[in-house]
C-alpha cells in the first residue's frame, strides 16, 4: 500500500511578499494622505487592505506555516480546562494571604536586622 502525500508548491513567494509590503505601505500612506476624510472610511479601507494582504501572505510558504501554528494553537486552547469563578476567587484570596504573610515576615526580618546593625554600629 503506497501512500503519497503531495506537498503544496508555493510559487512566486518573493513577489507575494512584495505585494503584501506594498499593500501595507499603501494603507499607511493612504491613511496619512486622506487625513481629511472621515475616520470610518479610512478604517474600512485599512481593514479591506489588511484582509487582502493577509490572504496573499497566507498563500506563501511561511504564511501557510504560521497559519498551521495558529490553527494548532486554537486546537490546544480549546483543550484547556478554565477555572470556574469560585476557583479563581479562592486562588486569588490564597495568593493575597500568602503575600501578606510574606510581607509581614520580611518586615520583621528587616526590623530585626536593622536593630542588630544599629546596635553594632552604635
DSSP secondary structure string, 21-79? HHHHHHHHHHHHHTTTS-HHHHHHHHHHHHHHHHHHHHTSHHHHHHHHHHHHHHHHHHH
pLDDT reported for residue 1: 54
SS3 80: coil
Mean pLDDT by 10 residues, the chain (122 residues): 65 91 95 94 95 94 92 94 96 98 98 95 85
pLDDT reported for residue 4: 60
CB contact set of 63 (below 8 Å; sequence gap of 6+)? 57
Amino acid at each position: 500500500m503506497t501512500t503519497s502525500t503531495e506537498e503544496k508548491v508555493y510559487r512566486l513567494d518573493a513577489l507575494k511578499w512584495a505585494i503584501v509590503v506594498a499593500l501595507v505601505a499603501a494603507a499607511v500612506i493612504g491613511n496619512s494622505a486622506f487625513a481629511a476624510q472621515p475616520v470610518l472610511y479610512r478604517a474600512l479601507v485599512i481593514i479591506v487592505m489588511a484582509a487582502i494582504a493577509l490572504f496573499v501572505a497566507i498563500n506563501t510558504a511561511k504564511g501557510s506555516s504560521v497559519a498551521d501554528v495558529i490553527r494548532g494553537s486554537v486546537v490546544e486552547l480549546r483543550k484547556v480546562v478554565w477555572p470556574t469563578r469560585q476557583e479563581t476567587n479562592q486562588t486569588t484570596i490564597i495568593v493575597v494571604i500568602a503575600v501578606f504573610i510574606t510581607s509581614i515576615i520580611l518586615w520583621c526580618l528587616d526590623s530585626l536586622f536593622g536593630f542588630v546593625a544599629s546596635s553594632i554600629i552604635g
